[in-house]
Amino acid sequence: MMKYIVVIGVAVALVAIGSSGKIPWVDRSIAVSQETRQFSAAATAPEYTRLEAISLVEEYLRTDCQLRDKYLPNLSRFEATFIYHPFTSDHYEREDREWTVVDPISGGIWRLSETTGVIRMIRGSC
């Protein structure tokens, strides 16, 4: 019984140390300093705003899409989500920094790459 108590105590101590990011008797903390957080926030912040991403997709629809009348009336309902290092594999090319713009009414999905500026139609028809 004493072995279980010792093992559980060590496990709780490891989890507590790991969750706080501070190792006892060490002056530095691991990756939780203010500078590290600011650098990480700046590196993972999107270059475009949500409205800019939607307007770039709108421009793509106006210039390159023959079925623009299907999507443009729903423009006010478009939703955009930024993903930094997408981890999903949905059988499409993924970039490191990309916006996914969705038309919830027609079901159209476009991906805007921030690194290359390319817009890909994922679901829908142009």
55/60 Cα distance (integer angstroms): 9
pLDDT, tens digit (0-9, with 9 covering 90-100), for 51-109: 999 999 999 999 988 888 888 888 899 999 998 876 666 666 677 788 999 999 988 89
Around 121, how many Cα atoms within 13 Å sit in the side-chain half-sphere? 15
pLDDT digits (tens, 9 = 90+) for 54-70: 999 999 999 988 888 88
Give yes or no for a contact between 22 and 13, defined as CB atoms under 8 angstroms apart.
Answer: no
Determine phi and psi for 30, rounding to 5 degrees.
-90, 110
